[in-house]
Chain A
């Protein structure tokens, strides 16, 4: 546990050393702020604004994810520092979980900024806390699943741009796979494909329903991706 924390701490620090973190945060906060303003004007019901807003945040988060995860392993591979990590007395899974946690914690900083809108709603209206709490939970699980995909892809290449682009394409696939499923006639395949959609599992959360099946889905996705990443790092017969 200690080693995971050491790696996570290093990751968070390095986000703020590069200007990318600031640019990305700036861009997404501007976008979030603008949509919050739009929802306030369109919906005009304090109880329902936040779920709408969280839906939007869930949407743009998948665009944000590649920026967070692309460097995680790619940069270490390129600069050779992976050699330091893999020859230190820590296990591969500690490295992988540390990186995952670091990326997720960076994402929490972004999520923390959105709490500002919640405070505004509490001050000026009466928001419905049920869907807000479940919405945040779903939203964080969704993002954690996105990040796990990014971690896996980043461990396969030493090129950050490739890592980021492939992550974006893969996440896009899991995003639109729900829409694709509506064109499939075979019911078994249709259900399976729609089950794969990251979005389908998020929808209940935004309605205020916390269903363990969806929680299990996201946790399985995260666990599976972490498992594969650890395996890739352990397979060192060829590098």
Chain B
């Protein structure tokens, strides 16, 4: 659906995007992840044809975004970082204008706009002037704008920025349902967001592509060995030395000790699952085992690891 080939973009002498290539298949929800200033917005703007790359080419639904711009743009719905709203217009009129410039059929327009307003929860606000709406509703109008004309590809630049927690959850759910019918690319610097919505993740840092993979394999790739968290009652030094003596445990770390209730994180050697052995050893050594669980690495750690590795190079 989207083919990005070797795109490079300079702002003056500053390199903003450095030779990035990737493809996005139909129906994927892809998260664009990177710290602020990594080149996310620039890349998205190039995909939508708002900015032209200095080198490289981009195709959306088979059409080149520069040479065949009108055709490519027919397939794209784009929500920029700041929703492009005409503040003086009522919601319905605004969406009507967007439908007109996107070439929505006249006979079908009213029904189409109504559908979109239903999807984005804007029905009761359809006659409100946009400048009177709250941030959350403005963002919905922005998403509704991107949905006009049923584009195959939705490009959402930081769709939940500036919203309150309830609104964030609402918008995330909305994007998830949209992902069933559209190909979605969304950018974020918030990791939980990407891990909550996206199947595939593209990490960029400093204008460079750091990783592109599914969330699961990205985690597996970075994770070196299983980690187990246990909470046990007893003398903390004795507990630590008991655990260290088990072969196959690389590291024992005391995270929390309170009234002889200790929390520890154990790192095991690669490809080993020793939860059963750990539990037995703890109990046999007369400690009270309160909790034992597997620790999954968060995307945040993956991110830090990947971007950190890159800057070390």
Q: Which residues of A sit under 8 angstroms from B89, Cβ to Cβ?
A: 14, 17
Contact among A17, A80, A84, A91 with B98 in the assembled complex (CB-CB below 8 Å) = A84
Interchain CA distance A86-B12 in the complex, whole Å: 22
Q: Does A81 contact B (CB under 8 A)?
A: yes
24 contacts between A and B (CB under 8 A): A3-B101, A3-B103, A6-B97, A6-B101, A14-B86, A17-B89, A79-B85, A79-B86, A80-B82, A80-B83, A81-B84, A81-B86, A82-B84, A83-B78, A84-B80, A87-B50, A88-B101, A89-B70, A89-B71, A90-B101, A91-B69, A237-B52, A237-B54, A238-B11
Contact among A83, A89, A238, A239 with B84 in the assembled complex (CB-CB below 8 Å) = A83
Q: Please classify how large the interface on chain A is, using the bins under 10, 10 to 19, 20 to 34, 35 or more.
A: 20 to 34
Let me know if A80 and B86 touch, CB within 8 A: no
Name the interface residues of A1-51: CB closer than 8 Å to any CB of B.
Answer: 3, 6-7, 10, 14, 17-18
Known contacts A84-B78, A238-B12; can you find 7 more A-B pairs with CB under 8 A?
Answer: A3-B101, A6-B97, A81-B84, A84-B84, A88-B73, A236-B52, A239-B50
Q: Does B298 contact A (CB under 8 A)?
A: no
Name the interface residues of A37-89: CB closer than 8 Å to any CB of B.
Answer: 79-89
Interchain CA distance A236-B54 in the complex, whole Å: 10
Let me know if B51 and A89 touch, CB within 8 A: no
Q: Please classify how large the interface on chain B is, using the bins under 10, 10 to 19, 20 to 34, 35 or more.
A: 20 to 34
Let me know if B76 and A87 touch, CB within 8 A: yes
Let me know if B73 and A83 touch, CB within 8 A: no
Q: Which residues of A sit under 8 angstroms from B145, Cβ to Cβ?
A: 84
Q: Does B100 contact A (CB under 8 A)?
A: yes
Q: Does B192 contact A (CB under 8 A)?
A: no
| Main SS class of interface, B | loop
Which residue among A3, A84, A90, A237 has the maximum number of chain B CB atoms within 10 Å of its CB? A84
Interchain CA distance A85-B82 in the complex, whole Å: 14
Q: Which residues of B sit under 8 angstroms from A14, Cβ to Cβ?
A: 86, 88-89
Q: Which residues of B sit under 8 angstroms from A237, Cβ to Cβ?
A: 51-52, 54
Over the window 214-239 of chain A, the binary record of Cβ atoms lying under 8 Å from chain B Cβ atoms (1 yes, 0 no) is 00000000000000000000001111
Name the interface residues of B283-298: CB closer than 8 Å to any CB of A.
Answer: none
Contact among A79, A82, A85 with B101 in the assembled complex (CB-CB below 8 Å) = A85
Interchain CA distance A155-B71 in the complex, whole Å: 25
Name the interface residues of B78-114: CB closer than 8 Å to any CB of A.
Answer: 78, 80, 82-89, 97-98, 100-103
Closest to A75 in B: B86
The 3 A-B residue pairs with the shortest CB-CB distance, nearest first, are A84-B84, A89-B73, A6-B100
- A226 CB to closest chain B CB, in angstroms? 19
Interchain CA distance A197-B185 in the complex, whole Å: 53
Interchain CA distance A43-B12 in the complex, whole Å: 62
Q: Does B74 contact A (CB under 8 A)?
A: yes
Q: Which residues of A sit under 8 angstroms from B83, Cβ to Cβ?
A: 80
Over the window 90-125 of chain A, the binary record of Cβ atoms lying under 8 Å from chain B Cβ atoms (1 yes, 0 no) is 110000000000000000000000000000000000
- A38 CB to closest chain B CB, in angstroms? 38
Let me know if B101 and A87 touch, CB within 8 A: no
Interchain CA distance A86-B76 in the complex, whole Å: 12
Which residue among B98, B102, B145 has the maximum number of chain A CB atoms within 10 Å of its CB? B102
Let me know if B11 and A87 touch, CB within 8 A: no
Let me know if A236 and B87 touch, CB within 8 A: no
Name the interface residues of A149-180: CB closer than 8 Å to any CB of B.
Answer: none
Contact among B49, B54, B85, B86 with A86 in the assembled complex (CB-CB below 8 Å) = B49
- B50 CB to closest chain A CB, in angstroms? 5
Q: Does B48 contact A (CB under 8 A)?
A: yes
Closest to A238 in B: B11
Interchain CA distance A112-B87 in the complex, whole Å: 29
Q: Which residues of B sit under 8 angstroms from A87, Cβ to Cβ?
A: 48-50, 73, 76, 78
- A160 CB to closest chain B CB, in angstroms? 14
Q: Which residues of A sit under 8 angstroms from B100, Cβ to Cβ?
A: 6
Let me know if A83 and B50 touch, CB within 8 A: yes
Interchain CA distance A237-B76 in the complex, whole Å: 20
Interchain CA distance A10-B100 in the complex, whole Å: 10
Interchain CA distance A88-B54 in the complex, whole Å: 21
Contact among B12, B54, B102 with A89 in the assembled complex (CB-CB below 8 Å) = B102
Contact among A17, A81, A91 with B85 in the assembled complex (CB-CB below 8 Å) = A81
Interchain CA distance A236-B145 in the complex, whole Å: 23
Q: Which residues of A sit under 8 angstroms from B74, Cβ to Cβ?
A: 89
Interchain CA distance A10-B95 in the complex, whole Å: 12
Q: Which residues of B sit under 8 angstroms from A90, Cβ to Cβ?
A: 70, 101
Closest to A82 in B: B84
Interchain CA distance A213-B88 in the complex, whole Å: 43
Closest to B74 in A: A89
Closest to A10 in B: B97
Let me know if B50 and A236 touch, CB within 8 A: yes
Q: Which residues of B sit under 8 angstroms from A81, Cβ to Cβ?
A: 84-86
